[in-house]
Amino acid sequence: MKPSIYVTRKIPDTALQLLKEHFLVEMWEEEETPVPREVLIEKIQTVDGLYCLLTEQVDQGLLELAPNLKVISNMAVGYNNIDIKAASNKGIMVTNTPGVLTESTADLTFALLMATARRIPEASEFLRQGQWKSWAPMMLTGQDIFGATIGIVGMGRIGEAVAKRARGFNMEILYYNRSRKMEKEAELGISYVELNELLQRSDFVVILTPYTNETKNLISKEELLLMKDTAILINVARGGIVNEAELYEALVQKKIWAAGLDVFEQEPLPMDHPLLTLPNVVTLPHIGSASIKTRIKMAELAAQNLIHALTKDTPQNLVNKDLL
Ligand code: NAP
Ligand code: GLV
């Protein structure tokens, strides 16, 4: 008999067909709303594999209910929604979708940087609200990007792809990373500095680390106060890496100039969130990798990861390599 799997959201057809060739598939059929926790609790009790999104909290409690579960395939590169240690302890493989979303996410990072620097959503709204009376010398003026200094925190796949784009804008590129990437420095034209120096020197600070115990609140009041009052913070990584309450204070007190955020501590961002009251914040609903082609590639890669894990010896994109 084929192994059984549960898919926690309606996924692109090509990915679903791949899965159906190998497994008995059950799927939460909705596209916009996550699977309710009680449904996930029921389904996890029997399946061999779970195909999930970053919206599902796969914690120890859930894993305790899953006697047959052998693999969790996350349709995302970030996997902070999954308790990796608990999965490893139970011998459950966890896989993710690195690489296929790198360029799309770097595109969005740069788009958000430019939109924030040049106040594009605010300017568009200004026109639509009938506030455009005349061309005026200092109307809706922003910050220059070409020739500015960008500081990339987390020089991984997406960090590198952002650095390549920054070179095209003749930017000075500083980076801070857990491990120094000497071999990449000449190739990408990037200079390693400690985090504090990066914060002090950069016109744009771009966060691109995973969310872990070490990166939680990596950017808090102390770090924000080191930034220039003309600087812009861009976060396309995960919400909890930046302390939102302290970011709000820094923006209100004009300690930094603006922020562009694709990710939040709580998603979806509550409509009464204080950040939404500020004109100098550009907010996006976690769309970093959201190009049509990339989302299909992610869905297919997550399917292939699951197939490899349940039918072959060495799964690709295994996160918990301690299991090998
Ligand atoms: P990656 O290749 O693993 O890069 C992450 C980088 O962060 C690595 O270079 C890593 O250093 C560094 N790092 C880890 N912990 C650190 C720390 N404590 N201090 C400093 N640097 C640290 O991952 P990626 O593919 O670029 O993706 C990065 C993250 O972006 C994902 O984890 C995800 O959360 C987020 N993301 C968001 C979206 C979106 O839609 N908004 C889309 C894709 C990804 P080492 O070289 O030492 O490992
Ligand atoms: C999206 O946020 C991802 O981690 O792939």
Rounded mean pLDDT of 14-43?
97
The whole-number average pLDDT for the span 58-66 is: 98
Amino acid, res. 305: N
Q: Specify whether 165 is catalytic.
A: no
Quick one: 108 and 182 in the same domain? yes
**CATH number of the domain that residue 235 is part of:** 3.40.50.720
| Mean pLDDT confidence for 216-225 | 98
Q: What is the pLDDT of residue 277?
A: 98
Whether residues 296 and 185 share a domain: the answer is no
Residue 260: both structure tokens together: 């562009």
The residue contributing the CA closest to ligand 2 atom 4 is 78
- Close Cβ partners of 110 (under 8 Å, ≥ 6 residues apart): 162, 165, 166
Looking at the structure, do residues 272 and 296 belong to the same domain, yes or no? no
Pocket test for ligand 1, best of 160, 178, 184, 219 (most atoms within 8 A of CB): 178
Give residue-wise pLDDT tens across range 250-286. Answer: 999 999 999 999 999 999 999 999 999 999 999 999 9
Q: Is 238 a catalytic residue?
A: yes
Q: Establish whether the linkage from the previous residue to 210 is cis, with ω within 30° of 0.
A: no
Residues 125 and 17 in one domain: no
The tens digit of pLDDT for each residue in 72-102 reads: 999 999 999 999 999 999 999 999 999 999 9
Domain that residue 300 falls in: 4-98+292-323
**Domain count across the chain:** 2
Among this protein's residues, is 9 annotated catalytic? no
pTM: 0.98
Q: Are residues 145 and 30 in the same domain?
A: no
Q: Tell me which of 53-57, 64-68, 308-312 is least confident.
A: 308-312
Beta strands in 163-283 (DSSP E): 172-176, 190-192, 204-207, 232-235, 258-261, 281-283
Pairing of strands 93-95, 49-52: unpaired
> Is the per-residue pLDDT at 313 higher than 80?
no
pLDDT band at 314 (very low <50, low <70, confident <90, very high): confident
Same domain, 185 and 261: yes
Identify the band that residue 104 occupies on the pLDDT scale cut at 50, 70 and 90: very high
Q: Verify that 125 and 83 share a domain, yes or no.
A: no
Strand 204-207 with 281-283, pairing:
unpaired
CB of residue 77 inside a 6 A radius of ligand 2:
yes
Report the separation in Å between the CA atom of 291 and the middle of ligand 2, taken as the mean of its atom positions: 13
